[in-house]
Amino acid sequence: MAGRYMTDGEIITSYRQAKSPVRQIGVIAQLNLMPRSKVEDILIAAGFKIKRRPDPFRDELTKDGQKRTFRKWTAEEDRTLIRMAKEGKTIKEICVKLKRATSSVCERRRLWKREGKI
């Protein structure tokens, strides 16, 4: 059987009786095969004051709380990355030049290595 296993009342009771209510939200979400945000919605509707945590699968946020934006790689950025990698530049130097995150540059560099362009 897929879907929810607990009613809203059971979710509220489980949260209220939990030794660690914050952790209980995650437990309830797992037991009911639903996202954490859905459990938070039920509890907020019941009148609980809950500090929402970002859902890593829905709201990807940066450390300062801003919504993360993903930029597509342009052909010019790819050419610059390949050229700088062939010149022996460090990842940090490439990141500064392209104004990209280290993880983004590393993944893109790995892709081009697999393709044989670096």
pLDDT tens digit string along 56-93?
555 555 566 666 667 889 999 999 999 999 999 999 99
- Going from N- to C-terminal start, the domains of the chain cover 1-59, 75-115
Q: Does residue 28 carry a pLDDT above 90? A: yes
CA–CA distances in Å: residue 11 to residues 58, 79, 91? 22, 53, 48
Handedness of CA 17, 18, 19, 20 (dihedral sign): negative
pTM for the structure as a whole: 0.47
* pLDDT bracket for residue 1 (50, 70, 90): very low
Instruction: Compute the average pLDDT of residues 100-113.
Output: 91
Alpha carbon distance 90, 84 (integer Å)? 8
Q: Is 38 exposed, middle or buried (0-12, 13-18, 19+ CB in 10 A)?
A: middle
Q: Name the nearest CA neighbour of 25 among 7, 37, 56, 57.
A: 37
